[in-house]
A = this chain, B = another copy of it.
């Protein structure tokens, strides 16, 4: 093995759209120039799985030959399960970097909470691995990942070189633009936004009612330092994310209440 190969960092690639999604192949291509790529991804789509883990049933993990250029494993569990199995059973050590995505669809603002892509990256960070989630603001299976690949490579290289603040991961969202139209990278905060749910109410063939979740995204945040602002203005948004969920700034206030 050539020395350059030995010194290459190991890059774990996960996602939530499943191992056959074009986005994970795009991410593998973007990472292959800077490291040794190992893919461990769900065997079926797992969008909206959040930080779910599988505790009440067994997991399957099988080597597959889908992305022929890269070592690839499919797992029957959630995106977070994939990270745990990758570290414990596939790599048997921590990789130098964990990247998740490229998600088909934005994971900006409140979506970070529902996203399996971001939860996988968060699990990497909990494992003390520098971790990044990448998402493209385009849900289509045939989305153009040209700009995403360019920025994923750029940001992953910078993280390998500089590291990340402790207990922090990155939520990177790429606007749905051609590479030449993207204005650059902005460090942002998560916008205050939510989904306004509606449920489509229908009848099944036996006339029993069922519901299907729909909804529209509402951004309450007018700040120009948010991820939503950056994406709307043609920038790649980079939000540092932490897994300490404590609202530290409220502790003094809560201590004043007579419980």
Residues of chain A whose beta carbon lies under 8 Å from any beta carbon of chain B: 45, 47-56, 58-61, 78, 80-81, 84-85, 87-89, 110, 112-114, 119, 122, 126-127, 154-155, 158, 162, 165, 167-168, 185, 187, 189-190, 192, 194, 197-199, 201-202, 204, 208-213, 238-251, 253-255, 257-259
Contacts and interface: CB of A to CB of B under 8 A. Distances in A.
B58 A211 contact: yes
Contact of A50 (B52, B85, B245, B257): B52
A211 B85 contact: yes
Given A165-B253, A190-B246, A259 B158 contact: yes
Assembly of this chain: how many copies? Answer: 2
Contacts of A47: 55-56
Nearest to A122: B113
Nearest to A76: B210
Contacts of A185: 259
A201 B59 CA distance: 10
Contact of A51 (B88, B113, B155): B113
Contact of A119 (B50, B202, B210): B50
Nearest to A226: B246
A45 B56 contact: yes
Nearest to A208: B60
Contact of A58 (B119, B198, B210): B210
A88 B198 contact: yes
B59 A53 contact: no
A246 to B, nearest CB: 4
A240 B250 contact: yes
A42 to B, nearest CB: 13
Contact of A168 (B49, B155, B162, B247): B247
Given A52-B50, A52-B52, A251-B187, A59 B110 contact: no
